[in-house]
Amino acid sequence: MDTITALWSFALVVGLLTLTPGLDTALILRTAALRSRREAWGVVLGIQVGTLAWGTLSSLGVSALLTASHTAYEVLRVAGAGYLLWMGGRMLWGTLRRRQGEDADANAGDADDAAAAHAGRGGGGLLLGLRRGALTNLLNPKVGVFYVAVLPQFIPAGAPHLAMGILLTCVHVTEGLIWSAALVAFAGVLRSWLRRPVARRVMDRITGVVVVGFGLRLALGD
């Protein structure tokens, strides 16, 4: 397999993975629709920073510890599951605490809008999203296992392992950024509708269930 063939083949594999709806998609859409565009891009960049880190560590052979060491994998798995359950639980609890009256929902929406706008100034929203996206990605050992298992298959014989591994990872990151840009734009078009009280509750509940579901799946080791 030559370098060009390896790049195209890997792009196809991770492209299909990127387009598959999952935790990243839910977080990006929810943040772009209910918080701010700046914070949503923070989540996007955080996720891609995590992807780049996993790809680099896999190329160095460090993340192979996740497959070689059961203890290392279990520690990261429990930490990741706990973080996802906490984040998803907060979303669900927030929807349950809101009053059902339209005035209360409107006030809550105004408060969230103000908070998002305030966070967006000075890069606060970007950093908040960056932290959330990076933690979500880095605390998921399955991403590391995927790279350990898949990345070496696309590195041509004789190619510099580290350089080629990072190049392949950059292909994944590029596809992730393009798809994320489409998600943020889509959420922006529907932003006014999605920020209505009823739509906000529904989206928070859907996202919360998705995040908790991924947390439970990770906790159970499925």
Residues sharing a CB contact under 8 Å with residue 127, sequence separation 6 or more, in sequence order: 42
CA distance 201 to 210: 14
Q: What's the pLDDT at 123?
A: 56
Q: What's the pLDDT at 38?
A: 93
Is residue 105 pLDDT above 90, yes or no? no
Share of the chain above pLDDT 90, in %: 30
- Token pair of 19 as six digits: 């387009």
- Asked whether the whole model's pTM tops 0.85, one would answer no
Is residue 132 pLDDT above 60, yes or no? yes
Q: What sign does the CA torsion over 83, 78, 174, 16 have? A: negative
**Spatial CA neighbour of 169 closest among 74, 63, 73:** 63
How confident is the model over 50-70, as pLDDT tens digits? 999 999 988 887 766 666 777
Residue type, 70: H
